[in-house]
Amino acid sequence: MIKDLTTIVACILTACFVAILASVEGVFLYGVPVILLCAGVSFTVHWIIAVPSLVTSSEKYFDFTGMIATLLVTSAAMFALLSSGYQASIRSTIVAIFVSIWTLRLGIFLYKRIVKSGEDKRFREIKKSLPKFLMTWTLSALWVFLTTVNAITVIALNPQEPLGVFFLLGAIIWALGFAFEAVADRQKKAFSELPENRDKFITQGLWSISRHPNYFGEIVLWTGIAIISLPLLSGWQFVTLISPVFVFLLLTKISGLPFLEDKAEKKWGDDKDYIEYKNKTPAMVPFFGKK
């Protein structure tokens, strides 16, 4: 319990620290700096929706909450910008659209998946502990903020100059990453819906060149946003480049690959076809590295 409560406090302090360092002058809402406000929005939304989820011990709306929080954080940044008397630049508007498109697609996809499956297996043990369950929702709030803080900063900086090479390069990389993630998710969904594929692992399409192509796509798209931000940041605002780094570490070291690789190993570890697939197919980056 103490560990879980300590984690909750650490999440809040981390978000505040990053928000203060990334502060953008002149953009406030109700007297609160926009980036700090966005951090508050993320935590508030998660805690509000966590209450009924905690009472019912249900994780059904966990991923859906992340989508709602991301949309509201992005909307809050744009609203604060306009309320401060600025006209939103093309760059700020496009970045806001990028983030919104990504979270709508992924959030709806994950929500439909959990409704169909009936549960998120990651929560089987977590649901048994109230502090741990609350801690998980708080971690999600931090995830939303740290993932979007780079994009939020671009919106708040609101540069009016021509888009330039960094924007074009970043936008192309974002589009490629988004397409990679969306196509990978669609391919796996179509594969798993076929009765003959029950309890089988996918090796088709993008899954033939990466064991986790959806994660690769997500890391790439946030890297695209970071590239867009590079010529705009100054001083401590470079701390917002934590966004793609955080996504990478989260997916490869914490909740993504470790969980799924362990699950796959337990299920197909003795299957010679899976062993061959694992040996010849990179864990994430296509055509780069094995295992």
pLDDT-derived band at 67, boundaries 50, 70, 90: very high
Task: Tell me which residue of 109, 84, 102 sits closest to 151, measured CA to CA.
Answer: 102
pLDDT-derived band at 125, boundaries 50, 70, 90: low
Residue 290 pLDDT > 80: no
pLDDT tens digits for range 2-22: 888 898 999 999 999 999 999
Contact 187, 205 (CB under 8 A): yes
Token representation of residue 79: 């609203």
Mean pLDDT calculated for residue range 63-87: 92
How far is Cα 110 from Cα 218, in angstroms, rounded to an integer? 14
Percent of the chain scoring above 90 in pLDDT: 59
pTM of the model as a whole: 0.91
Lookup result for tokens 């295992």: 291
Contact 34, 156 (CB under 8 A): yes
Task: Tell me which residue of 27, 154, 165 sits closest to 90, measured CA to CA.
Answer: 154
pLDDT tens digits for range 23-63: 887 777 787 899 999 999 999 999 998 888 877 777 777 88
**DSSP for 102-150?**
HHHHHHHHHHHHHHHHS--TTHHHHTT-HHHHHHHHHHHHHHHHHHHHH
How far is Cα 131 from Cα 129, in angstroms, rounded to an integer? 6
Q: For the beta carbon of residue 121, count every other beta carbon within 10 angstroms.
A: 10
Q: At CA 19, angle to CA 80 and CA 84, rounded to 5?
A: 20
Domain ranges for the chain: 2-280
Mean pLDDT calculated for residue range 60-83: 91
Give the containing element (helix H, strand E) for 80: helix 62-83
Phi then psi for residue 199, to 5 deg, are 65, 20
pLDDT tens digits for range 153-200: 999 998 888 889 999 999 999 999 999 999 999 999 999 989 998 889
Rounded alpha-carbon distances, angstroms, from residue 194 to 28, 89, 117, 191: 51, 46, 15, 6
pLDDT-derived band at 129, boundaries 50, 70, 90: low
Q: What is the pLDDT of residue 287?
A: 81
